[in-house]
Homo-oligomer: A and B are copies of this chain.
Amino acid sequence: MSETASTRTPLSPTPRSSLTRSKERGRTDRAELDAVLDAGMVCHLGVVRNGSPVVIPTIYGRDGDTLFLHGSTGSPNMRAAMAHDVSLTVTHVDGIVYARSAMHFSMNYRSAVIHARPVELTDPDERMHALRVIVEQTAPGAWDAVRPPNKKEMAATLVLAVDLTEASVKVRTGGPRDEQADIDTGGVWAGVLPLRQLFDAPIPAADLEAGVEIPAHVRRRCSDTAAAV
């Protein structure tokens, strides 16, 4: 994370990570990839099993130019992720674009698509670090407040590292791009309906003992809706 933009590989460095459609939405600055990944908690991981793709939602964490995934050692999807290249996508929907014609309806969004061959981490310290990164991406500030994984839990967990070199980012912002003829005709409302996610008030567990207050790292999130993904 200490690398400067100038020393990092630009986005879309390979044919399969290069955009073929709506190229004007493509970004090249790696900081834009970081921003899309850091604003998310769930990615859609595409693996190939028996020749067919399987797309599953899963949590992740980013550390520099590496993204970490985890799963059960018995997970066929995680096993498949080590046997073939995967595609991994994070998408934020920011609004619905209402146009004057059906074909110009669109979405405002930010999305990142990664191509990589995940690698299993075997070093205990690296594995523990990766799990910390994943938990902190999902629940910032939580790792130090809870019991860390024990040996039995670690033994049942597969931790994968995904190199972020082969990545593309697409972003659409702004209003509809209507045909001039439809604009001239007029009479149809056009614009954007913004969409965002926010956190509601936390719900304590049914088995939480009395007297345990909601910690600052949770409280902070509820009020900070601007930072919500």
The interface-forming segment of A4-12, A25-33, A100-108 is: A100-108
| Contact yes or no, A186 B199, CB < 8 A | no
| Contact yes or no, A87 B188, CB < 8 A | no
| Contact yes or no, A75 B109, CB < 8 A | no
The 8 A CB mask of A40-61 against B (1 = contact, 0 = none) is 0110111111111111110100
Q: B52, B111, B178, B207: which contacts A87 (Cβ < 8 A)?
A: B52
Report B-chain residues with C-beta under 8 Å of the C-beta of A91.
Answer: 42, 44, 57
Tell whether A39 is near chain B: CB-to-CB under 8 Å: no
Size of the A side of the interface (Cβ < 8 Å), in residues, is: 100
What CA separation (Å) do A41 and B190 show in the bound complex?
19
| Contact yes or no, B47 A53, CB < 8 A | yes
Indicate how many identical chains form the complex: 2
Tell whether A35 is near chain B: CB-to-CB under 8 Å: no
Central interface residue in A52, A132, A192, A206, by most chain B CB within 10 Å: A52
| Contact yes or no, B188 A20, CB < 8 A | no
| Contact yes or no, A107 B55, CB < 8 A | no
What CA separation (Å) do A143 and B102 show in the bound complex?
7
Tell whether A227 is near chain B: CB-to-CB under 8 Å: no
Tell whether A74 is near chain B: CB-to-CB under 8 Å: yes
The 8 A CB mask of A52-86 against B (1 = contact, 0 = none) is 11111101000000000001101111000000111
| Contact yes or no, B205 A193, CB < 8 A | no
What CA separation (Å) do A44 and B86 show in the bound complex?
14
A residues engaging B (CB < 8 A)?
A: 16, 20-21, 41-42, 44-57, 59, 71-72, 74-77, 84-89, 91, 93, 95-96, 98-103, 105, 107, 109, 111, 113, 115, 131-132, 135, 138-139, 142-143, 145-149, 153, 157, 175-176, 178, 182-183, 185-209, 212-215, 218, 221-222, 228
